[in-house]
């Protein structure tokens, strides 16, 4: 079983809508979590970090629930440019490596 599991989607939403999706992790040793964004046929890029207290960056809100071992990402007021695959990523303390989920695809339509 992969350390980080995601619903692949796709989530098809109209512009202006709110979309939210989760990923679950199986390794309780994972200390830190992040969301990366990957546009079609492009390289992944760091979107934001995830904290237990919640982390907001503009229209994006990320949350970590350690008790239930899941991470969430919420996008408010969706834009066409938000269409992408969102990768959930886990990291263990003092480790050089990251564990990537397979990604959740979001398509925002006009």
Partner 1 sequence: NAGVTQTPKFRVLKTGQSMTLLCAQDMNHEYMYWYRQDPGMGLRLIHYSVGEGTTAKGEVPDGYNVSRLKKQNFLLGLESAAPSQTSVYFCASTRRGASYEQYFGPGTRLTVT
Q: Which of 71, 103, 105, 108 binds partner 1 (CB under 8 A)?
A: 103
Q: Which of 27, 49, 69, 107 binds partner 1 (CB under 8 A)?
A: 49
Q: Which of 39, 56, 57, 95 binds partner 1 (CB under 8 A)?
A: 95
Q: How far apart are CA 87 and CA 103, in angstroms?
A: 4
DSSP string, 8-52: ---EEEETT--EEEEEEE--TTEEEEEEEEE-TTS-EEEEEEE-T
**What part of residues 2-31 is at the interface with partner 1 (CB under 8 A)?**
2, 8
**What part of residues 29-48 is at the interface with partner 1 (CB under 8 A)?**
32, 34, 41-46
Q: Is 22 helix (H, G, I), strand (E, B) or coil?
A: strand
Q: Tell me the closest approach of the beta carbon of residue 45 to partner 1, in angstroms.
A: 7
User: If binding is defined by CB under 8 A, does position 66 make contact with partner 1?
Assistant: no
Instruction: Provide the CA 51 distance to its chain's centre, in angstroms.
Output: 12
Q: What residues form DSSP beta bridges with 105? A: 85
Residues that bind partner 1 (CB under 8 A): 2, 8, 32, 34, 41-46, 49, 87, 89, 91, 95-98, 100-103
């Amino acid at each position: 079983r992969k350390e980080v599991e995601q619903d692949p989607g796709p989530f098809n939403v109209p512009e202006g809508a709110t979309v939210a999706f989760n990923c679950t992790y199986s390794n309780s040793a994972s200390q830190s979590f992040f969301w990366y964004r990957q546009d079609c046929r492009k390289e992944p890029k760091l979107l934001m970090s995830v904290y237990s207290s919640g982390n907001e960056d503009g229209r994006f809100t990320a949350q970590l629930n350690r008790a239930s071992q899941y991470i969430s990402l919420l996008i408010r007021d969706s834009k066409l440019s938000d269409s992408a695959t969102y990768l959930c990523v886990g990291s263990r303390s003092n480790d050089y490596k990251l564990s990537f989920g397979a990604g959740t695809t979001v398509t925002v339509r006009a």
